[in-house]
Structure formats: structure tokens, C-alpha cells
Structure 1
Amino acid sequence: MQRNLFSFAPDWYEPLRAIRSLGSQAPSIAHQGELAAARRLNLGQFFTPDAIAAFMWSFVSGWHIDRRIRLFDNSVGSGRLLQYADPERHAVYGVDVHADVIQQCQKVFEDAGFHCEFRLAGMEDIHPTRFDIALINPPFSIHLESPNLQPLECTTWGRYGAHTSALSHDYSVHQALEAANVVVALLPITTAESMVAGEQGDRLKRRAAGLFELPADAFKLEGPNVRTAVVVFDRYRDRPSDFVRAVVEDLSKPGPDLRLHFEERSFGEARLRLQKLDDSVPFITRAVTGDKSVKVSHDGRRIRLSSACGFNEAMVLNAVLVKRIYSRDGHRLPRGFRHSGQGRAGYGNVSGAGRSGRGLRSVA
């Protein structure tokens, strides 16, 4: 750990520690019927107590390399999980939907000498990549709905089409595993157990290094009474039998050495990759007529699709474009290609694609 909690040395993080979370200031709910309204008001925001943050940090504090270690939090709040970082050793990145705290985070971390980037955005608005470590305490059970969601194992059909809906605590972990080599996550105990058991995909089970059940009163100062656990995910595990499960009785003691597989090499710059979405005006303005026909026409080497019905046009584009794609190292994309479906489109599941019984199967 870079800083002793009981040290009298100047504490650069102190201005942020004084900030109270929205959840801790909200009145307690009387029954489950008030839960949804309460979450809309407090954004599911409950900051991580210092003792838990220190315990989570203990799993990654011993890693030393010749470059800055890139840390990431996709619901950073007041930066509690990043407070033990060292500006000489770490670069920090985070997003949050609460404008006041994200602005203060940027200022305090910059003043402390960190290379940092904090953006006003939700986890659904970014496609992060190339991070070393993700330290996350996501909001629990917030329903995410956005066409910018990454198509992950936890995403489902939403109002924007396939892979556009998810629960916040599930999506946060899956996104962090896509973005970082090592992930330390604070989760509801039931979610943590389902992930390490493989109920949310075999990849999570293969990368799980340990599950540590926290004391029942771990979040007492923040208000919520929920059983939680810290789950540590590795870049890979040598043997499944190395998985560690334990009940934490004393948060002042560091976690065990899990022999995590850190990556000393760097493959490009860490990026949050903010996705822009403006749903204030409709993208498709064509009237909804109920006409399910789709016109396919040539434009040089390109194939264009058109429809007489705005709703059908939206369904067709959602089915064809599938997901965003990015040019990776050593792989060039044709100019103008932004979605996987622009190279190959499957029309077997598009309404009205084959009135004569023969739907368009592929477009090269």
C-alpha cells in the first residue's frame, strides 16, 4: 500500500474523502415499492468505505514495473478505490454520471500530480481498453439501456435492439474483464457466487482467483444493509484448484497473495473510448406505415437498403449492423466501416425480408 491510513503525512485525497455519497444522504425506504424511485434519485451511488478500499487495494499493491500502471474504475464516484495510488507509479482513469464529484476528482487527482482522465459518462457510454487493473464498486441493480452497450454475455434485448440492455453490476464486471488484465470487484454476494460458479459464462469462472465474503456491517456507514463480497479476477489461472474462498473477519488485514498474472508489457495507450449518443431527436424520421418490404439496390460496389416504414427500417438496421468494430494493431478496415454487419448481413430474422420465401442471406 502506498499510504498508511493512520499516517500524519499530508493526505492529497482528503478533499474527496469529505464528499458524501447520494445514497448515504437519502432517507431509508419503507418497502420494496419505493426502491425503484430511490435508485433514480441516488443513482445507486454508495461510496466504498476506506477499510474495504484498502482491502481491495491490497491484492494489487505489490506490483512494481518500469512504467505507469493503468488503473480503471467504471463508476468512480469520489475515487475511493483509487486513493492509494501513487502519481509516480500509476495513471488513473474513471467515469461517473454524477457531474459534481467527477469534476472534483479531476481537479484533486491532477493537483496531486497524477496522469489521469475522468469523464462525465456512465459505464454504458464507454468501450474501455488496454488497462492493467480495474478496481470497481458498481451501482447495484440499475437497469442500463443504450445502443452503445458492448455486446457481452450479460447483455440482452432492449428497446434499441439486441445487446442494448443489462443490469449495472453484471455489466460493470463483464466490461472490466474486457478492458483490464486484473479485476478486483465489490459485488452483492449472490452475484459474486453466480459469477465464480460459471452461471454468467465460463470465462468468468476460468479467470476467478478468489472470493472474499465481507462482514455483514461492512457498509454500515453508507446506509445499505446488503451482504457483499470482493471477487478477484486474474488475467488467467494456472489451475482451477488455486481458487481461494474465505470469510473476511478483520478488514485491517491485507488479502492473501493470489499470485496474479500481471502483464509488464504495454500494447498501446489505455483509452476510455467515449461513445456519443444524442437521442434528443430521432435518427429515423420516416413514418410508420406497417409496410414490411425492404428494397435492395446497387450503388457501385455497395448495396443499399431502403424501406417504406420507419419502424421496419430500424429493425433492419439493428439486425444488419450488429455491433461496432474497431481497427486493431495489424488489421486494417475498409474506409467507412464502423459495424460488423457492413461486411456481411444476415437477413433470415428480419421481418418481411422474404415475402416470396427467399430472404437475402449475405452481402459481401
Structure 2
Amino acid sequence: MSAGFELGPLTEDEDRMVLEAQFRTLSILEDALKKTRWLLAEPGRDYGLQARNVPLISPELVEDLIQTLQQFEFLKYEKTKYEIGIGALYPASSFPVIGLCSEFWQRHENLSFCSRPGSLIKTGAHILGYHDSDKFWMEGNQRPVLGASRISEAFEVWMRHKGEYVNGSFVCCGEKSIQSVCENSDMRFALHCTLNEEQKDLAETTRKATLTILYDALNKELIVDDSHLIHLQGCAVMLPLIPQTLLAKLIMKLEKVTFKCDSRPRHEAIFAYPGGKAQDVIYLCPLFWLQNERLRNGSRIGTLILCVSQMLGYRHVLDRTSNPEEPTGPQDPHLLTADDICSAFECWMMHREPYTEGSYCCCGENNEISVCRKSIMGTELRQCLREYLA
């Protein structure tokens, strides 16, 4: 044995527990390889600034970790009071041995922050030559060189399951194996949420079109003065009435949201959904790009109105978002839902005739991106206002 590295045998229970930890760790690493498409960095791909913020793990590194952790023997290592820098595990320099310190047994069994699998991954990275800290400098066009702690963090934080394991599967992604990483983890969003240039242009075009619709509804008086709202609800119970204050909030929120993509949403039939609490982010899914660009039932404009309404706290009742966090906020006192707000524009304010030869036949409006003054909403509101003011 090398000088200064005193090892001893493990007890029967300790030997059993470390073999279980080794098995869990190898299962987790092998699962990450199975989910390469969503969780591991693509060789040769330029991740730009993401490389500085996210610990990018290549398939080759995972394969090296698996091979390394399969070759080492585990023994007990008693630290002295002078060995403050030594963590829960300590690899021998000249032998295929990993020393287990007392802290190792205090760590979580399953993958989480400060876990036994994470500790083994970090030690495997040390053996492969990775240092304790990242080098935040670039070597030509290479990514920053990761440190062993960040490699462990990639699994313990970025790839771990956030949902509980209930009735044989994780609620966050449906994965049945406990010893696994999560396809719906933060790592997938970090690697696959950036819009390409074409998608960026289309998302911004849809934002501008949606704002145009919202302002047009205000100019054509298809929304309701807040002072009239209670009285109008009595004669127009079938209509989802949009108060002026709500319209102002929709405009303000939509102007500041940012767009990201989710190329593999949890629910395949979803078009888009808002990010979690306190996030001004809308995730756009593959079906979003297939929606109609003009205002009608099932349009991109309506989808953005639906998402922004959810971000303001209005509940989406026709479907469930793929984000497990429900948006929170003050609920509308008149029990509007996000779906009601969306349908007010997509169904009740839309033009009933096609746009031909530069105008809509139903009302003569020349702007194709517009709501209809003579729509059902307009007709019903004018009738209700006459009754109210009579």
C-alpha cells in the first residue's frame, strides 16, 4: 500500500451497501446513455454560452465513468484530523482502490444532491483526471474544461427526477426504474430549449400579431369597461367578457415574455405552455408551428393568449400543461378561465367571412390581422349596452 494511504476492510454491511451504491451508480450512468438524445451533449455541437452555465456531459465521458467504476475495489479509509480536504471517497494513487470515508454512509442512497451515486461519479471523474473546479477559459473552440464536482452536479442536480416515485413510476416522466435519470429534467430543457433563427422570427411575428389583435379589440370596443362588467354579465352570460384591466395585463405580460422551445413535451398534443412560477417564459412545442397564423379556432395567436392568461393566474381547464408547476396569481372574480379568455378572441371576436381582395367581406376591415367589429362579440355587447343604458 502506498505511503500515507491507510486502508482497512469493510464490514459485511458496509460491503453490501457499497456494492448496492456501485450498482445504482452504474445503472444511472447506463440510463443516461439510453437517454443520450435528450440529456447528453452532442459531439461537435456548439452550445455557445450554455457551455458556461450547464455542465455538459458527453456520451464518451459517461462510458469512461462506467468502465472506471467497474474496475475499482472498495475499502475503508479512516481520515485523520489533518485531512480536511478529503471528501467522502478517496482514490488511491497507485492501486485500483477507492477508500470510503465515514461521510459516505451519511449520504442519500438514491440520486439526489449529496448522494452516494453522485459521490461515486465525482470520484470516478477524479480518477479520469478531472480536477475539483471548472476552468472557465476557452481552449480555441473547445468547451470549458469541467471539474469533477460539476460532473457530479450534472447528474445530482441537472438530470435528477423532480417528481416522486409513486405506484411504480416517477410522476415527472413516467420512468419505472428508480435508478435512472429524468428525460424531463432541467438538463433536457437546457440542451433543447433554444429556438433556431426561423423559430425565433416566427415566434416574434406571432407576438406582434397577438398584440395587434389585443389592441384592435380595445379600439373596436369589444372589451368591457370594468364599471359595466357586473351589469353586463347578467344579460350576456354566454359570452366570456374581457374587462379592460385584464386586457391591459395581457398586453403588459405578452410584451415581456421570452420564448423557448420544448421539442419533446410531456403531452404530445400540447401546442405551448408557460414556464414555472415567477418565470416569464413560454415554451413552444412542435405542434405550435403547425397552427394557423391568423386568428381562428386553433391559432398561434390564441395559443399565446391562452399561455399568457395562465401566467396571470387563470386556470387552463381543457387540458393540462406539461410543466408540473401550476401558475399562480390572483383569480378573476368572475371565474373566467384561460380557455374562456382564449375563446373570446378565437371564437367570439373573429371574422365570420374570409379575407379576399384586401378586406373582410363581413365588415370591410382592410387589416388581415384584426378582430371583427360585427362579430358575435360586437353584436351581443352592443345589444347588452343598449339594454343597460336604457
Smaller-chain TM-score range? Answer: under 0.3
Question: Per residue, is there more helix in 1 or in 2?
Answer: 2
Q: Which has the higher contact order (CA 8 A, sep 6+)?
A: 1
What is the TM-score normalised by the length of structure 2? Answer: 0.22
What is the TM-score normalised by the length of structure 1? Answer: 0.23
